[in-house]
Structure 1
Amino acid sequence: MNYWLMKSEPEAFSIDDLARAPQKTTCWDGVRNYQARNMLRDQMKKGDLAFFYHSNCEVPGIAGIVEIVREGYPDHTAFDPEDHHFDAKSDPENPRWFMVDVKLKKKFSRVVSLRELKSCADKSLSGFQLLAKGNRLSVMPVTALQWKFIESLSQGK
């Protein structure tokens, strides 16, 4: 099993929006970065787990856990001129952008804030990609050790 972190701005789509979705499941669409796209398309597998991270908000941080329930497939929003994720250069015959489906597994009782994560950067979260200077990727891998440590933070341990 692989572990991931997936960012979303809560004003656009929050963990609470996912909790209200039918069967607490939805597609993770709109990723428009090639490196993140490659992870969605080639590396994420059904059963993998991901932290749901709220970005660009008052308290950025990890709000819960989702499970990948459908592996990468073409992101249909790229083909819809009415959608704000539309990409005129994307072709349904040779899709440029991909997405996965996620299902809410757990909403944390509190957000594990970016500030709290940064305070652990030189300890248990050494090398955590989220904390790398200038990192703006919306999808990134998480090691098993980092995953275990962050889960323990969510439980107040």
Structure 2
Amino acid sequence: MEVQLPTPDVTHEYWTMYFDGSIMVPRSGAGVVLVSPDGSRLRYTIRLHFLDSNNATEYEALINGLCIAIKLGATQLYVHGDSELVVHQVMKESSCKSPIMVAYCQEVHKLEDKFQGIELHHVPQKDNDAANFLAKLAARRDSSSSRVFINDLHEPSTRVLEDSI
């Protein structure tokens, strides 16, 4: 008796995501660029309406970008960010020191499980300029062109439970 294996699904192709966060006191924002397998670029600004640290802002960019990619149906994703700390914490090359960073990192890992394949890479800032531009645009609350999606986030993507502090 011959056992037939299912034919591998080759229709899923990798999307690419670039993310960045920016703080311009008193405001902060995040920028995300998603590139579909056919090369289409989708640009997002996320205006953060709460106080955040620089690292938390980077995590907000990553988490919101992953959520957008999931909503768009991406199942395989290459992720690029210029925050060495965030990339290393998520890749478990560096430990999280504060409870809020632990909570953010755990949220990223929950979202990673929704993909069939995901890779996270640190890139130099010069290779992340489109996401950086969008993050600054969001932080300044500048109006953007019609080709940029604007999201408003009124509370952090994660919370630290009181008893974990």
Same fold by TM-score greater than 0.5: no
Q: Which has the higher helix share?
A: 2
Query: TM-score under structure 2 normalisation?
Result: 0.27
- Return the TM-score normalized by structure 1: 0.28
Q: Which has the larger radius of gyration?
A: 2
**Greater relative contact order (Cα < 8 A, sep 6+):** 2
